[in-house]
Amino acid sequence: MTPGGTPEPGGTTAPDAPEDRSPHAQAVVSSHELATAAGTEILEAGGTAADAAVAVAAVLSVVEPFYSSVLGGGTWGLYYDADPDEVTSLDGVGPVGSAATLDDYRPRAGDFGMHQAILPGAWDGWMLWLEEYGELELGEVLAPAIAVAREGYPVSSEMTYWLTLEEANIRQSPVMTDLYIRDGDLLDTGDTVYQRDMADTFEDLVAAYDGAADRSTGIQAARDHFYRGPVAEAVVAFSEQNGGYLTLEDFSSFSAQIVEPISIDYGEDVTVYQNPPNSQGITMLQALNILQNDDFSGRSPDDPDVVHLQVEAIKLAFADRHAHVGDPERTDVPVDELLSDEYARSQRARIDMDRAARWPIDSGLDRQASDTTTFHVTDRSGNAAAVTTSLGGQFLVVGDTGIHINERMSFMSLDEGNVNAVAPGATVRHTSAPFMALRAGRPYLLGGNTGIDTQTQGQLQQFMSVVEFGMTPQQAVAQPRFVSTAFPASNHPYEADNTLQVEPAFPEAAVQELRRRGHEVTVGAGIVGTANMLAVDADGTEARLGVEPRNETAGGTVLPGPSSR
C-alpha cells in the first residue's frame, strides 16, 4: 500500500533526487513558547539541531518542572545526522538505584517520595548529544535557561493545575514552599515564578565546562561535576535522608548511550523510526505494521472502521509490550519477530471488525525465557532531532539544587515474574517514545505525544492523519484523540480498565457505532496528552508545524529561508 492522500507539505521525493540538502528548513516546535524561543535563538547563532534541542530541554526544565528535567529526569531522542545520513537513538534513562529491593519498595509503591526516583540519566544523554552532534559552547546553550530561571517567568494554567494537584506535597517541603507558595497561597496563573537554585546548578555546570582546556574535555567536566561531583553528592545525601535508593556508585558508573533505533518500512518510500526497548516505542511500529496493508483511501480519521482498526491494533501491540518489553539486559525482547511482516499479518487476522477485544489479551508470541514533554528541531544542515523527555509526574525538589526529580520507579511492576519488575540496577520500561519518519531517505515527519500510555497511541493517530488522510500537521495534532486502556497501565496501580476514552469533539455517530461493536466508550475522560509535529517538504527547504492547541503555552517557529532574508 502506498501512503494515500497528498500530505502537507510536499509530495514524494524520487529515489534519484539531487543530494544537495542545503539550505535546509530550520524549525522548532515545543510545548512552551519560551523553550521554542530558546531553540530558535540557538539555531540563529549557528547551532545544530542537537545544540538547539539541549537549549529547548533546559528551558522546559525551568518552565515545565512538572513534566521534565535535564537534571532530574530521563530522556529518549532520535537524531538524524545529515552528513553520514543516519538515524540514531539516544538512551538517556538511568537504572533503578542499587539499594532498592522489591520487598522494601512494594509497600511504598503508591506513596510520594524520593524512593520513587531512579538515577537521573538525562544530563549525560544531553552531554552525549552535544559531544557527538553539537558545535556551540555549553554556556551558550544553557544561557536561555539560566536567564529564564533567574529572571522569572509567568505561571501558566498548566502549572496552576499541577500546583493545585500537588499542593499537599509542596507544603511538606520548605524548599518547594519557597518556590511555589507566596504569602501562604499557591502561585496562581500570571504570577512570576523563579528557579534560582536551578540557575545556580546550571551555572556551576557551565563553570566546570569553562575550566577545561577544550570543548570535548569541557563536556566531560560537566558530566563529572554532575555524576562524580557535587550534584551526585547532593542527590545521594538527599536520597539517604529521605528513604531513597540511589548511591554514589550508581552515579559514577552510569553513562548514557547512543544506540541503534528500530524501524519499519511504511508504504513504498517512508521509513518510521522509534527508540528500542526498554522504550515502549515498539508499540507504535507494531500497530502501524498491522495496519499498513489495509486500504484507507476515501476514509477519514474518525471513520468508525478506521478507529476500530487502530484501537484493536493498539491493544495487540500493548499486549505484546506487557508480555515481552523490558530491560534488554535482563530479558530477551524479540524485536525482530514483533516487527516482522509475517507477525503483523497474523496479528491483523486476530482483529474482528465487528467486536472489540477486552483485556486479558494474549500476546501473539509465546513468552521468552505525564509526566512528559515532547519537542522537535531541524537545522540548516538537514539534521533533525525528535525528543520525548520526562519526569514521570512527581513534583519533588532535591534540597537546594533546584533539581526536580523523577518518579520512574512507579512505572515498574511489583510482580517478580514480569519483564519490567523492580530490581536493583534494572532499567524501567520507559513510556517516552518520539518518532521520526524519513521519506526517500530524508527527514519527513518528527512527532511526539505525551501522556504515559497515550504516547504511542496519539503518535499513531497523528502519523496516519498526515500520511493516510492528507491532513496538515496542525490538523493532525488538533484532531480529536482516542485512548484505549485495554491493557495494564504503565504506572501504579497498573490497572486495565477496558475503556475507549475519546475527546468531547469526537463525532457522536462514531461513538455510537463503536459502542455497538463492544467498545466501552467514555467521552471526555482520560489522558490525551499534548502533541506536536514537524513536517519537512520533499526537498528539505520548507517546514510546517503542528502546535498543540490544547496547551496555551505551546509554540513553534520556522525560520525564514535564505532566499527570504
Task: Give the residue from 101, 455, 107 showing the smallest Cα distance to 275.
Answer: 455
Which burial class, exposed, middle or buried, applies to 216 when counting CB atoms under 10 A from its CB (0-12, 13-18, 19+)?
exposed
How far is it, in rounded angstroms, from Cα 72 to Cα 100?
A: 18
Residue 372 known to be catalytic: yes
Contact (CB, 8 A) for 63 and 153: yes
How far is it, in rounded angstroms, from Cα 531 to Cα 400?
A: 32
Task: Mark out the alpha helices in 211-340 (DSSP H runs).
Answer: 215-227, 230-241, 248-252, 282-291, 304-324, 335-338
Contact (CB, 8 A) for 176 and 395: yes
- β-strand pairing of 531-536 with 543-546: antiparallel
Cα Rg of the chain, angstroms:
22
Q: Could you give the dihedral angle defined by the CA atoms of residues 194, 200, 203 and 209, in that order, rounded to the nearest 10 degrees?
A: -140
How far is it, in rounded angstroms, from Cα 280 to Cα 429?
A: 7
Annotated catalytic residue: which of 283, 372, 389, 401? Answer: 372
Task: Give the residue from 395, 523, 533, 397 showing the smallest Cα distance to 459.
Answer: 533
How far is it, in rounded angstroms, from Cα 76 to Cα 281?
A: 10
CA 241 to chain centre: 31
Strands (DSSP E) contained in 27-131 are 27-30, 74-81, 86-92
How far is it, in rounded angstroms, from Cα 557 to Cα 44?
A: 12
| Helix, strand, coil percentages, rounded to 5, for the chain | 35, 20, 45
Write out the catalytic residue numbers: 372
